Chain A
Amino acid sequence: MGTENRIWHVMSHVCLILLSLLSIIPFILLFISSITAESEILSNGYRFWPNEFSLDAYRYLLSNIQVIARAYGITILITAVGTTVSLLITVMLGYGISKTEMPGSRILSFLVFFTLLFNGGLVPTYIIYTQYLGIKNTLWALLVPSLLMNGFNVFLASNFFRTTIPQGVLESARIDGAGEFRAFFRIVLPLSLPILATIGLFNGIAYWNDWNNGLIYLSDPKLYSIQNLLNQMMQNIEAIKTASTAYGANASAMKLPGETVRMAIAVIGVVPILIMYPFFQKYFVKGIVIGAVKG
């Protein structure tokens, strides 16, 4: 028995170590490539053990710092505003739905629920947001479509309120003369921090990582978030490449260390998440489980 258990134990460790390596190796290649000399990459490609290092790519990006800083500024702004507004309207709607004794709560709850089953898809959504609401090439494009609220989170919040907030607390608040608003913001929300953290965290990550809205609704580079910039740089460096091969190698392609810059910009895009990850990891894992319980 003992040896058998030990074999299982060791095997599990071995498999998990391999899996962990598999998960981080791409990031290592990305990082090392970004600090490799351009000439080295042109002759030997992206490698884990280059012969020659260089920070040219980061120097190049530093010379374009205003572009990157602007994109980060927009990402931070959109993430902060989006997460806050999203959290607020999600819990307010969820709170209403949790009041099953309230007239109309079943109909309203169904209206939220139906959005989980059926959706109009990209074409009508695009036409409504661009033709009727005019959000193309505005910051609203990064904030509003699809990300601001989803029915799933509304139900997550509503279930939490229904199962966790003791009715007695609300009753006594009412007896003390606290209005519904006061009761909600002063009593219910402070008791709901776990679910607020979960929904806020998931929304925050969704906003931070979103490139989809920018791809669909933005053509103005001034409004690009960091993800849109990354997306664009991938295509632009491609474009320079194809152009330079089409015209025969020209000098402008040499100016920018394209192959390393590509990796450096990706590193810059991923570093904030990696730095923040240890801090929110615990809540994130909990959130996954909470979401799955009623999922």
Chain B
Amino acid sequence: MDTKQTVPAIPDTGRKQSHSLWKRMKPYWPIYLMMVPGLIYLLINNYLPMSGLIIAFKKIDYAKGIWGSPWFGLENFKFLFRTSDAYIITRNTLLYNGAFIILTLVCSVAVAIMLNEIRNRFMSRLYQSVILLPYLISMVIVAYLAFAFLGMEQGFFNNTLLPALGLEPIDWYLEAKYWPYILTFVHLWKNIGFTCIIYLASIIGIDPEYYEAATLDGASKWQQIRKITLPLITPTIIVLTLLSIGRIFYADFGLFYQVPMNSGMLYDTTNVIDTYVFRGLLQLGDIAKSSAAGFYQSIVGFILVLLANGIVRKINRENALF
């Protein structure tokens, strides 16, 4: 407000404005100072890597670094898109995330509705805590848990479950065709507890009068869920879903790397953009394709986030990120 009042009155605005800006900033110096560590971290951890994305157009020479390496045009991208890798990792990333989004939504909403049915606070808490437990453990531990079931020689499935059903043992870590189901299951197992808490909070926020009125009118439980609960939590559903669609180009690296135990035989159904970039960079020494895939992910990912947010914003400005 200060500038707006002073600027029109004084002709040589440049000097005066910067002077008054300085004056306006001065009382805040301790606050600027407090922000410095965080901003430096963002510079190092976020902005330098962003500018480093140009590595995708360079022939990397570690000795010369990112900015010193010679330009390489689109060669890295040609390497990447000449193979079937680009197609496979894009397909896997999109299909898995698509399935995760839909199934997480359906299961979490169902679980949240059931949790809301439980009137006993202690039991409700207990269920919530137990279902949330898998969310708290690291993917390395999840890989161990999966291995206890799927291990080829010692796993519970091959030794106990499949023989009991009269089925032959399966080489789980060698057969790619089972992994879409396994990974989807593990993802749901680990994440439902988290998402259902968000939906539960949204359901709890519904005014109980709606239900009381519906009950008086003789509406059945199922009708109440369909006509009251679901419509009233739809904003939450839309926002959470669109935000995960915005992240659809980013896979859960831990899930796809740890749980299949990095088994090469499974790459056809377990390789996603994130694991591809990681392996190219750190295990295969194929930094050309890796950097191209990383660039591809960053740019497409960015566009998708903008799109998703744009839609959220259209629906409900409050819930948009920006």
Contact = CB atoms under 8 A, between A and B. Distances in A.
Do the two chains belong together in a single complex?
A: yes
Interface of A: 1, 4-5, 8-9, 11-13, 15-17, 19-20, 22-24, 26-27, 29-30, 33, 41-42, 44-48, 88-90, 92-93, 95-97, 99, 102-104, 108, 111-113, 115-128, 131-133, 144-146, 148-149, 151, 154, 179-181, 184, 205, 209-212, 216, 227, 230-231, 234, 238, 259, 262-263, 266, 269-270, 273-274, 277-278, 281, 284-285, 288-289, 292, 295
Contact of A234 (B39, B46, B143, B282): B143
Interface residues of B, number: 103
A157 B30 CA distance: 18
Given A8-B117, A93-B39, A211 B148 contact: no
A273 B53 CA distance: 37
Contacts of A288: 194, 197-198
Contacts of B291: 123-124
Nearest to B60: A127
Nearest to B30: A180
Contacts, number: 289
Contact of A46 (B48, B60, B159, B321): B159
Contacts of A127: 52, 55, 60, 62, 65-66
A230 B138 CA distance: 10
B181 interface: no
B122 interface: no
Nearest to B198: A292
A133 B127 contact: no
Given A121-B53, A154-B38, A184-B30, 9 more contacts: A48-B156, A119-B50, A122-B290, A125-B49, A145-B45, A209-B136, A211-B138, A211-B140, A288-B194
Contact of B148 (A33, A93, A131): A33
Which of B53, B137, B305 lies at the interface centre, i.e. has the most chain A CB atoms within 10 A of its CB? B137
A145 B129 CA distance: 30
B213 interface: no
A180 B160 contact: no
A96 B130 contact: no
B118 A16 contact: yes
A274 B32 CA distance: 41
B62 to A, nearest CB: 6
Nearest to B48: A128
B196 to A, nearest CB: 10
14 contacts: A1-B218, A11-B114, A46-B154, A46-B155, A96-B31, A96-B32, A104-B32, A108-B39, A122-B277, A128-B52, A180-B34, A216-B282, A238-B261, A259-B154
Interface of B: 21, 24-25, 28, 30-32, 34-35, 37-39, 41-42, 44-53, 55-56, 60, 62, 65-66, 111, 114-115, 117-119, 123, 126-134, 136-141, 143-149, 151, 153-156, 158-160, 189, 192-194, 197-198, 201, 215, 218, 220-221, 240, 243, 253-254, 258, 261, 274, 277-278, 281-282, 287, 290-291, 294-295, 297-298, 301-302, 305-306, 309, 321-322
A123 B44 contact: no
Greatest chain B CB density within 10 A among A126, A274, A284 is at A126
B52 A23 contact: no
Contacts of B302: 117-118
A269 B31 contact: no
B154 A45 contact: yes
A240 to B, nearest CB: 14
A121 B49 contact: yes
Contact of B305 (A89, A104, A117): A117
A115 B35 contact: no
A76 to B, nearest CB: 15
B144 A180 contact: no
B49 A16 contact: no
A115 B126 CA distance: 37
Question: Which of A88, A116, A124 has the most chain B CB within a 10 Å cutoff?
Answer: A124
